[in-house]
Structure 1
Amino acid sequence: MIGPLADRTPYVVAVFLMGAGLYVLIDDENLVKKVLGLNLFQTGIFLVFVAAAVRTGGRSPLVGDAGGPYVNPLPHVLILTAIVVGVSVTALAAALVVRIHAERGTVRADELERPTDEVADRE
């Protein structure tokens, strides 16, 4: 039972990360937690792509090297690009959350739907 499950460990972890991230995105009203949930979801997707690109006994494709199974470097390069984009999106989202907090005094999405004067009266 442990052997077949050990081969699928990255996929199980990826499903857990994506599920936890999606749950936080949907359930929580705190914008900071929503940004963290988005990061969890992205990490799960990254893990799926990297785990799918693994080839047992594979080698890097070098010019002039003959034979053997090769590992496709394209998924790894795509994930590196996605990580850079993910960091940029996270930085932008964090900057927006800081700006929203400075303007409205709250980071709760349900309180942002109220008019500005109601939020100021509450404080």
Structure 2
Amino acid sequence: MTTLDLVMALVVGGLFAAGFYLLLDRSLMRVLLGVIVLGHAANLLLLLTGGPPGVPPVLGDADAGERYADPLPQAMALTAIVITFGITTLLLALVHRAWQLDGHDEVRDDVEDRRIGTIQDRAESGPPLPTDRDQEPGGRQER
């Protein structure tokens, strides 16, 4: 492994780490930036798998003993660029719409998820909670 390969591996790893870190944030703009960084990391990884820089592409009249650059990762990188651009455009439209409706790009807590989480926490730490069957139609609990 050469120094260039090691540096590029660290750069790709750093881009993936930064992209996933941004995806875990509650701000939709940071999620969008995380998707963009992940797209760039994937493209760089695909281009690195194509071979060392400066190697000529496959030519019909070249000798069989020469090393060639693999064209498949380059084609996959072009496809990944188009897909990333489409996803970025969709997410940008969603972020813009969320900004128009709410005035901010912060993702709200899901009330149902929070309720289920507190029920599970209570069930693990204390006595069982009363259910809907334990209550009379008038709202009073049975004794």
After TM superposition, the score normalised by the length of structure 1 is: 0.79
- Confirm whether residue 58 of structure 1 aligns to residue 55 of structure 2: yes
Match of 1:121 in 2: none
CA distance in 1, matches of 2:2, 2:53: 15
- Structure 1 unmatched ranges of 5 or more: 115-123
Deviation for aligned residue 1:69: 1.2
Report which of the two has the higher share of helix.
1
RMSD: 2.0
1:57, 1:69 within 8 Å by CA — same for their partners in 2?
no
Residues in 2 aligned to 1:91 and 1:80: alpha-carbon distance in whole angstroms: 17
Aligned length in residues: 110
Gaps spanning 5+ residues in structure 2: where? 112-143
Letter in 2 for 1:32: M
Shift of 1:5: 3.5
Give the residue type in structure 2 aligned to 1:35.
Answer: L
TM-score, normalised on structure 2? 0.69
Choose the corresponding residue for 2:98, options 82, 97, 100.
Answer: 100
Residues 71-90 of structure 1 aligned to structure 2 (within 5 Å): 71-90=69-88
Deviation of the 1:56 alpha carbon: 6.1
CA drift of 1:6 comes to: 3.3
What is the identity percentage for the equivalent residue pairs of Structure 1 and Structure 2?
27
> Secondary structure of the residue that 2:108 maps to in structure 1?
helix
Kindly provide the CA deviation profile for residues 3-54 of structure 1, in whole angstroms up to 9, marking residues without a partner as x: 844331111100000001101111x211011100111112112111111212
